Amino acid sequence: MSKKALLEQPATVPAAADGKARPARRAPQNLWFTVGPFAVFLALFALVAVLRPAFLTGGGMAILAVQAATILLVALGQAMVLHVGSIDLSNAAIVIFAAIVLAQTLGPIGPAAPVVTLAVVTLIGAVNGFLVAFGQIPSFALTLGTLGILQAASLVISNATTVYATANGQLLAPLFGTAFAGLPLAFWVGVLMAVGLWAFLRFTRAGEGMTAVGLNETGALFSGLRTRWFKVMAFALSGLLAGVAGILVIAQAGAASSFGLGSDLLLPGIAAAIVGGTAITGGITNPVNIVFGALTVALVPIGAAAVGVTPQAQSLVYGLVIIAAVALTMGRGHTEVVK
Amino acid sequence: MTDKDTGTGLLEQAPAPSQPPLRAGRRFEFKNLGEVLALVGLIAVFTALNPATFLTPENLRTILDHASLPLIIGVGATLVILTGSIDLSVEGVMGAAGMTFVLMTANSRGSADLGPWAIVAALAVGVGLGMLSGLVHTRLKVPSFIVTLGVWFVGLGIATVLFGDQSIPFLPDGGIKAWPSTLTFGVPNAFLLAAAFVLAGMFVARFTRLGRFAYAIGDSEEISKGNGIPVLRYKLYVFVVAGFCSAAAGVLAALELGAGSATVGVGTLFLTIAAVVIGGTSLGGGKGGILRTAVGVLMLTALNNGLILSGVSPNIQSAVSGTVLIAAVLVATWPHRSRLRIVK
C-alpha cells in the first residue's frame, strides 16, 4: 500500500479523466507546501531583526521558542484534525483542562500525573472523534459543544480559582529549565512530535489512511478504508497533543486557571497550522512546516509591536492573519459550493 | 374578510379555497409543536422542583430579561444557518459594537457624547463586520466557519484596542442605562426589543426576498443559482443582517452591564447556536425558522434559570448549553445517518 497509490485512488474515483490537468494545478501548491512556511517565517524574522536589532542580541530567539512551544503542540493537534477535513474548536479548552487536572494530581500521585492527564485528554479527544464520525455531526458544532462542557468542567474542578502545582514541580522543571542549542527543551519536544507525526503520516498505514480521508472521503470509503476510525484517531491525537501542551503550561507557569495562560490558544493554534501550509479542506499537511507556522504566529505580536501596533491589537492581528492565510492558500479548483 | 364582503362573492371566493388549507398545513401541524411541548414540560418540572420561586412574576421577568440577548442574536444566526453557513463571530461583534457605543455616549471617561448617534455608530460597526464576513466568504470562497472565527477575534481585538489601557468607561446612572430593565406592561424593555426583533425577523423570513431566498439557498445552492437567484449577493445580505443583530445585542448588553467591556458577549455564542439547533433549524440549511429559535432560546434560558434555582452551580451553565447543543445536533441528524454520508 504505497502512498502514491492511495493518493491516486480516491482522486480518480469521482473524476477519472482528471489525470492530465493535475500536474499543472498541483505545481504552485507544492512549491508553497515545501518552502512557503519557512519563507514567511524568514521574511517576518528579517523584518523584526531590522526594526528591532535588540531582538537578536537579547536572547529573543529563546523567548520566541518558549512562546511557540505551546502554540506548536496545539497547532499539530489541530493539523491532524484538519488533515481529515474536520476542525477541533475544543482543543484549546483541552489544554486548560489538562493543565488543571495535572496541577491537582501532581502533588498526590507525582510522576504518574502526566500519564493520567494524557490518558484522560486523549480519551476526551477520542470521544469527540467518535461522535463526529459515528454520529455524523458537523465537527465545528460538536466541538463547540465540547468546548462549553470543558470550560465548565475546568471551572468546576478548579473551583473557579487558580490551581497551583505545589509539590513535585521539579519533575517538569527541565522542560523550560534546560536548553539545547540555545532553545528550551519544551520547544524541542514539539519539534520531535512534529517529525514523529510527519513520519506517521508518510510511512504508516493509518497515516496514509488519514491522508486519503482528507483528500477524498467518498473515495477512501469506496476503497474499503475504515474512514470513521481514522477520524477518531485524528481527534484523539488532537486531544493527546493538547494534553502535552497542558503539561507545558504547568511546567512554564506552575499554575493553571480557566482564564490563565493558554486560554487563548485556539486561534493561534489554527493560524499556526494554516500558516504552516495545512489545507483546511484536508489531506495536505506537513507537520514539520507547522514548526515554522508556530514560530511565525509567535513572532506576529513581536513583529506587530515592532511596526507600531499596540499589544492590545493582538487578537485583531491574529484574526486578520487567519482570514488572510486561508484566503491566500485555499485551493479553489475543486470547491463548487462553499458553506 | 367577512365584513368587507361586498355581496358578489366572486372576488373573495377565488383565493379562498386554495389558501386556508395551505396556511393551516404550515402552521398547525401537530408534530411542529414538539419544541413548545418540551418548553411547557420544562416549566412544569421546574415549577414542581421550586414551587415557591420558579413561577413567580419576578423570576419570569428574570428569564425574559436573560432571553433577550440570545433572542436578538438568534434572528441573525437563524438566517445565516438557514442559508447553510454559520456565524461564529457573535461575541466579537458584540464586544466591538458595545465598546463603540459606550465610548460614544456619555460615560465616565468623557470621551464623547453623541447621544443617539452612538447607537447608529455601534450598529454600523456590526454591519461593517458582517459585511467583512460576507464578502470574504462569498467572494474569496473561504468557508464561513473559518471567516467568522477570524472576525470573532477581529471584533474582540477592535474592542480591546478601543478599551485601551485607561480606566473602565462606566455609563452614568439612570437615564439610558435604566432603560433595558424598566418595565412596560409588566415586561422588561429589553425583552420587548427582543420581541420586536423576532417579529421583524419572522416577517423578513416569510414575506421578503431575503428570507425566501435564504431558505432556497440553504435547500440547494446549485438549484437556486440555476433559477437565477443572485446567491452570493443574498448570502452577503444575510451576514450583514447577522452583524446588525449582533451589534444591537452588543449595545443592549453594554447597557445592561452599565460599562464598556470587550468580553461583554462571553457565552452567548453557545447559547444561541444551541437554541437555533434545538429549535429545529437544520445546520445543513433550508429548514427551520426564527420562531423556532425563539422557542429554543426560551427553553435554554428556562433550563439554566431552573437549574440555578435548584441549587446547581452557575459554573456549569456553559456545560448545559454545550450538552444541549450536542444532544440536539445528534438527535436532529440521527435519522439522516448513512454509511456513505460525508460530514466534515
| Domain residue spans of chain B | 61-266+282-287
Rounded CA separation B97/B249 (Å): 9
- Domain membership of residue A33 (yes or no) is no
Give the residue from A131, A231, A267, A339 with the most B CB atoms within 10 Å of its CB, the best one to mutate: A339
A49 touches chain B (CB under 8 A): no
**What separation in angstroms does the CA of A214 have from each of A10, B92, B169, B342, B344?**
10, 30, 48, 11, 10
Q: How far is A214 from chain B (nearest CA, A)?
A: 10
User: d(Cα B267, Cα B277) in Å, to the nearest integer?
Assistant: 16
Q: Is A290 a member of any domain?
A: yes
Q: Is A54 on the interface with B (CB under 8 A)?
A: no
CA A157 to chain CA centroid, nearest Å: 25
Residue-level pLDDT at A190? 93
**Identity of the residue in A218, A326, A337 whose CB atom sits nearest the CB atom of B221:** A337
- Tell me, what's the pLDDT at A212? 92
- Ramachandran region of residue A307, left (φ > 0), alpha (ψ -120 to 50) or beta? alpha
pLDDT score, position A20: 43
CA distance A75 to A291: 9
In this structure, how many other beta carbons lie within 10 angstroms of the beta carbon of residue A181? 8
Is residue A18, in this structure, part of any structural domain at all? no
CATH code where residue A231 lies: 1.10.3470
For residue A263, give how far its alpha carbon lies from the nearest alpha carbon of chain B (Å): 13
Residue A40 lies in a domain: no
The list of chain A residues with pLDDT below 50 reads 1-26, 334
How many CB atoms sit inside 10 A of residue B299's CB?
A: 25
Whole-number Å distance between alpha carbons of A23 and A330? 17
Rounded Cα gap, residues A93 and A262, in angstroms:
8
d(CA B230, CA A296): 39
Q: Which domain holds residue A324?
A: 60-328
Distance from the Cα of B187 to chain A's closest Cα (Å) equals: 30
Name chain B contacts of A317, Cβ cutoff 8 Å: 157
ipTM for the predicted complex: 0.78
Residues B198, B291 contacting (CB under 8 angstroms): yes
Query: Would residue A8 count as lying in a domain?
Result: no
Task: For residue A44, give the amino acid letter.
Answer: L
Answer yes or no: do A148 and B270 touch at CB < 8 A. Answer: yes
> How many Cβ pairs within 8 Å bridge chains A and B?
177
Model pLDDT, residue B113: 76
Q: Is residue A50 part of a domain?
A: no
Q: Return the HEC string of chain B.
A: CCCCCCCCCHHHHCCCCCHHHHHHHHHCCHHHHHHHHHHHHHHHHHHHHCCCCCCCHHHHHHHHHHHHHHHHHHHHHHHHHHCCCCCCCHHHHHHHHHHHHHHHCCCCCCCCCCCCHHHHHHHHHHHHHHHHHHHHHHHCCCCHHHHHHHHHHHHHHHHHHHHCCCCCCECCCCHHHHCCCCEECCEEHHHHHHHHHHHHHHHHHHHCHHHHHHHHHHHCHHHHHHCCCCHHHHHHHHHHHHHHHHHHHHHHHHHHHCECCCCCCCCHHHHHHHHHHHCCCCCCCCCCCHHHHHHHHHHHHHHHHHHHHCCCCHHHHHHHHHHHHHHHHHHHHHHHCCCCCCCC
A12 domain-assigned: no
Interface test with A, best of B326, B334, B336, B340 (most A CBs within 10 A): B326
| Cβ-based contacts of B318 with chain A (< 8 Å) | 148-149, 151-152
Q: For an interface test with A, which of B87, B142, B222 has the most A Cβ atoms less than 10 Å from its Cβ?
A: B142
Which chain A residues are within 8 Å of B221, Cβ to Cβ?
A: 337
Which pLDDT belongs to residue B14? 43
Contact B77, B242 (CB under 8 A): yes
A218 contacts B340? CB cut-off 8 A = yes
Answer whether A151 sits within 8 Å of B140, measured CB to CB.
Answer: no
Helix, strand or coil for residue A295?
helix
Q: Within a 10 A sphere around the Cβ of A318, how many other Cβ atoms? A: 25
- Quick check: helix, strand or coil at residue A183? strand
pLDDT recorded at residue B10: 43
Number of domain units in chain A: 1
Q: Write out chain A residues lying below 8 Å of B317, CB-based.
A: 152
Indicate yes or no: CB of B153 within 8 angstroms of CB of A315.
Answer: yes
Q: Are A214 and A83 in contact (CB under 8 A)?
A: yes
Inspect the interface and report whether the beta carbons of A135 and B333 lie closer than 8 Å. yes
Interface contact A280-B274, CB threshold 8 A: no
What does the alpha-carbon distance between residue B28 and residue B33 come to, in Å, rounded to a whole number? 8
pLDDT of residue B204: 92
The reply to whether A222 falls in a domain is: yes
pLDDT digits (tens, 9 = 90+) for A42-99: 888 888 888 878 777 777 788 888 889 999 999 999 999 999 989 898 999 999 999 9
The conformation of residue A284, written as its DSSP 8-state character, comes to -
Q: Nearest CB to A314: which of B146, B157, B222?
A: B157
pLDDT tens digits in sequence order for chain B, 344 residues long: 344 444 444 444 444 444 444 444 455 555 566 778 878 888 888 888 878 888 888 888 888 888 999 999 999 999 999 998 989 899 999 999 999 998 888 777 777 777 788 889 999 999 999 999 999 998 888 888 889 988 998 998 898 888 887 877 888 776 777 777 777 787 888 898 999 999 999 999 999 999 999 999 988 888 888 888 898 999 999 999 999 999 999 999 998 888 888 888 887 887 888 888 888 888 888 888 899 899 889 988 888 888 888 877 878 878 888 888 888 888 877 877 777 777 76
Which three cell numbers mark B287? 429548514
